A and B are shown apart, each in its own frame.
Chain A
Amino acid sequence: MTKLITLTIDGHPVEVPEGTTIFNAAKQLALEIPHFCYHPKLSIAGNCRLCQVEVEGARGPVISCRETVREGMVVRVNSEKAKQVRKDVLEFILINHPLDCPICDQSGECKLQDQYFNHSVQPSRMHLPKVHKPKAKPIGPQVMLDDERCVMCTRCIRFCDEIAGEHQLIMRERGDHSTIDVFPGKQLDHPYSLCTVDICPVGALTSSDFRFKKRVWFLNSTPSICTGCATGCNIWMDHHDRIVYRYRPRDNEAVNQCWLCDPGRMTYKAINAATRALFPMKLVGGAYQRLEWNDALSQVKEVLKSYKAADVVGVLSAQASNEENTAVKRFLEKTFPGLQLFWTGREAMPEFADKILRDADRNPNTHGVQALTTKRLDAQVKAKVLIVLGELTAQDLRLLMSIKPEVTIALADQLPHPEWAHYLLPRATHAEQDGTYVNRKGMEQQAKMAFPPKGESLSAVAIASKLMEIF
């Protein structure tokens, strides 16, 4: 067993295991020591010097992110001396800062703004020309660098080296001309590049995708799940006015720690897409015509009336939540007792998998749907009527063309392409309903409703219950 060490921080005694840093010991007292370069998942750089605290008997202030506790240690985080050290460090950080907060995309969620506000608020004593560095420089397909705002914490470099395993970012030049850069002819293009934007404490690294789309203080954040693959990374879905603007990682040590992959983050776009199915529709002469919900439901009932359970095949989805799959299954089994039930989902993509987060199975709920039916949609399927929850893959479509069902009904959130469904019942996305997904580790995870369904779409649960009512 590790030895316990007792020390006092700002007069409060605290007991922590030997080897704990002062920073983490303070955390136990719910005391967050200001910092830039420290990140719990990265090696200690000790370069920003903002986390310096006073330790009795030490020759000078010590960096709490690195210094480990000793028995009887007396630490002061909020003494006048320690406060002054923080002020001095912040003053240094700001002397060459462009102070372009009004046009900085990080504004409102910038650690430098916060630290200055909480620990400095002193006017500048620097009345000399500042060092100028590259601004708005794309350093990769997803990431934009504003080097004048960089606080040189090297978090981004360490992330690439230590977590992504790709040595793509470097520091060039020296002194106050130091600059973050990529190698000549190379880019920051590994699949986790946007994590550098997350951990950059300031507006030096911003997402090319999110930049200038929305001031962050307008955004609402809803805890949700990325539906990009079976890992089921936990996210904050940031949205405003029923538009999703970005995904940010939501800490979950057992799933994604504090990271997300770039392709996963971009899956939010489907929620806002112009190709969303927003109204019930019917295929007439190769084109969709809008229907009222009531008409759509009664027409579906009318069309299905003449078929027996043996003619009908139901397809559940590894893309949909447990709730949706269960509701659709219940409706189908009640209406067509003994029908055949299959499941489908995106095809596996081995090259997508890596050792960090990404899984070859790009469905968020394969485990969940398999609990409802084990049969994957395959070439053996024979059907006159096909009722499908969610999207079909290209391979599924080829299959569908070959069996040529007489009636196809889709509960989908995107317009079917090509137009294979005779009836389209618009389904809400995971942003627009609560849902449970079972990830690759078998963990049930909740995605919360961020906003009500767009257009006239409804959750598949609601659609199933409407159908249940009229059948």
Chain B
Amino acid sequence: MTFVLTKNCEVQNMPQLEVARKHGAYASLEKLFARQPKDIIEEVKTSGLRGRGGAGFPTGMKWSFVPQNTGKPIYLVVNADESEPGTFKDRFLLERDPHLLIEGIIAASYAIGSHTAYVYFRGEFYRQWELFEKACAEARAAGLIGKNILGKGYDLEIYAHRGAGAYICGEETALLSSLEGGRGYPRIKPPFPAIEGLFACPTIVNNVETICAVPYIVREGGAGYRKFGTEKSSGTKLFSVCGHVKKPGVYEVPLGTPFKSFFKDYCGGTNGRPLKAVIVGGSSVPVLTAEQVMTMTLDYEAAQIAGTLLGSGGMIIVDDSVCAVEALADLARFYAHESCGQCTPCREGTGWSKKILDRLEAGRGEDSDISLLLQLADNMGGKTICTFADALAMPIRSWIKCFRTEFEDHLRLKTCPMKIGTLNSIRSS
């Protein structure tokens, strides 16, 4: 299999420029500078590449929104905030092949007419940031970053910035606020960053994985990229797999791969217990039951039909030892903790949901709790500045929908049924 993203991720010392170059890093630049920026955008459009940060917005189309005549600088901002529970695929690329990201940044910046790129690292990515800074220094010394790159007359500076550890700073406009030195509050859209982003200038925000796919597209053409994946979900995608799985890790597969074979062939199945549920695209997306997920293929359209989203590709495997109420309470705890607190429904709704779920799990629930939770999900979802509130509303709706009897059992038994049975069932397994 020809890999787009992870081809060199197992190469020893790949973050060193010399090693990277031996393995073809920066080979796309000759082709890049031989073409006009707008042709590169066309090529990316042809490739069908969609954003890998979660929303899946077509990348080439996003790039084409950048106005080229405002007289203001244009910025590229790479989103390396990766904080969604279950998601660690960008980390993999950052650790294994930072030069691929730099190469992608050069290509993307060139295409959109930017001469300044920022990479926003999640606060906890200290090692990854250090590695990236080192790679940048080497690339700069080799004339790959800075003035007149490779003598082609194109200038680009890259700055790495570390966040302070807030999930919300992965939301692109919160990221921009944070990058500007402000509080990580998402901004009302429109205006979209492509029109008015960083320092009120046209800005493209892309995920690490998205940018890392660009060198391949430059090298092999949009059509080359389309060799992978399906008609509407082209290319390959990283899935970071964690939870009750035999071989957790990061896997690159062509979009459209059936979940069933992916799970069996790549991940080795569960740890032995029956599969209960899968969150396929990071903690924010609706959960699927084992039956639902087994018939699904891993692409944007199939995910939608199955009632979920491909999201970031952070896959959480849940076996039958997990209590649905506890799992949802755990998710709610995360969202209550990470809500930026701007919008009333999100600020209050996430915290309230968490408290209700905690009491439900502890067996102290009230009869109306399930319907109350569903109402809160409706009262939060789609009524806020960013989609963070939906990121809890969707799990609430889906966990209750898929595992309603478990919620009802907690109310009826006034305790967690799993808790009564847990010790026995673990011993017996």
A: residues with CB less than 8 A from B are 44-50, 52, 59-61, 66, 85, 88-89, 91-93, 95-96, 125-129, 131, 151-152, 154, 170-171, 173-178
Q: Which of B113-121, B284-292, B350-358 contacts A (4 or more CB under 8 A)?
A: B350-358
CA distance A246 to B33 in the complex (A): 70
Q: Which of B69-77, B94-102, B340-348, B408-416 contacts A (4 or more CB under 8 A)?
A: B340-348
In the complex the two chains form, is B355's CB within 8 Å of A175's CB?
Answer: no
In the complex the two chains form, is A173's CB within 8 Å of B341's CB?
Answer: yes
In the complex the two chains form, is A174's CB within 8 Å of B166's CB?
Answer: yes
CA distance A45 to B166 in the complex (A): 21
> B-side binding surface: helix, strand, loop or mixed?
helix
CB of B339 closer than 8 Å to a CB of A: yes
What's the nearest-Cβ distance from chain B to residue A452, in Å? Answer: 47
Tell which of A66, A171, A174 has the most Cβ of chain B within 10 Å.
Answer: A174
In the complex the two chains form, is A47's CB within 8 Å of B343's CB?
Answer: yes
Tell which of B166, B337, B341, B385 has the most Cβ of chain A within 10 Å.
Answer: B341
In the complex the two chains form, is B342's CB within 8 Å of A59's CB?
Answer: no
CA distance A60 to B381 in the complex (A): 10
CB of B423 closer than 8 Å to a CB of A: no
**12 pairs, A vs B, C-beta closer than 8 Å:** A44-B188, A45-B342, A49-B344, A60-B383, A92-B379, A95-B352, A96-B348, A174-B166, A174-B338, A175-B338, A175-B347, A176-B341
CB-defined contacts of B348 to chain A, threshold 8 Å? 92-93, 95-96, 176
In the complex the two chains form, is A128's CB within 8 Å of B359's CB?
Answer: yes
Partner of A176, one of B347, B356, B385: B347
In the complex the two chains form, is A92's CB within 8 Å of B183's CB?
Answer: no
What's the nearest-Cβ distance from chain B to residue A38, in Å? Answer: 12
Contacts A85-B383, A128-B356; A48 near B344 (Cβ below 8 A):
yes
Tell which of B166, B188, B336, B337 has the most Cβ of chain A within 10 Å.
Answer: B188
Quick one: closest B residue to A179, CB to CB? B341
Partner of B385, one of A47, A89, A174: A47
CB of B384 closer than 8 Å to a CB of A: yes
In the complex the two chains form, is B356's CB within 8 Å of A152's CB?
Answer: no
CB of B142 closer than 8 Å to a CB of A: no
In the complex the two chains form, is B372's CB within 8 Å of A92's CB?
Answer: no
CB of B215 closer than 8 Å to a CB of A: no
What's the nearest-Cβ distance from chain B to residue A95, in Å? Answer: 5
CB-defined contacts of A59 to chain B, threshold 8 Å? 382
In the complex the two chains form, is B337's CB within 8 Å of A175's CB?
Answer: yes
Partner of A49, one of B168, B352, B356, B383: B383
Tell which of A46, A171, A175 has the most Cβ of chain B within 10 Å.
Answer: A175
In the complex the two chains form, is B349's CB within 8 Å of A92's CB?
Answer: yes
In the complex the two chains form, is B344's CB within 8 Å of A152's CB?
Answer: yes
What's the nearest-Cβ distance from chain B to residue A446, in Å? Answer: 41
In the complex the two chains form, is B355's CB within 8 Å of A128's CB?
Answer: yes
Partner of A175, one of B339, B356, B385: B339
CB-defined contacts of B344 to chain A, threshold 8 Å? 47-50, 89, 92-93, 151-152
CB of B366 closer than 8 Å to a CB of A: yes
Quick one: closest A residue to B375, CB to CB? A88
CB-defined contacts of B188 to chain A, threshold 8 Å? 44, 46, 66
In the complex the two chains form, is A174's CB within 8 Å of B349's CB?
Answer: no
Tell which of B188, B338, B344, B359 has the most Cβ of chain A within 10 Å.
Answer: B344
Quick one: closest A residue to B384, CB to CB? A49
CA distance A174 to B372 in the complex (A): 24
Quick one: closest A residue to B366, CB to CB? A127
In the complex the two chains form, is A175's CB within 8 Å of B345's CB?
Answer: no
Quick one: closest B residue to A44, CB to CB? B188
Question: Beyond A47-B385, A96-B351, A175-B351: 13 further Cβ-contacts under 8 Å?
Answer: A45-B342, A47-B342, A49-B343, A61-B383, A126-B352, A127-B366, A128-B355, A128-B356, A152-B342, A173-B341, A174-B338, A176-B336, A176-B341
Partner of B339, one of A44, A91, A127, A174: A174
CB-defined contacts of A66 to chain B, threshold 8 Å? 188
CB-defined contacts of A49 to chain B, threshold 8 Å? 343-345, 383-384
Contacts A59-B382, A88-B379; A171 near B345 (Cβ below 8 A):
no
Q: What 1/0 flags go to B365-392 for Cβ under 8 Å of A?
A: 0101000100000010011110000000
What's the nearest-Cβ distance from chain A to residue B192, in Å? Answer: 15
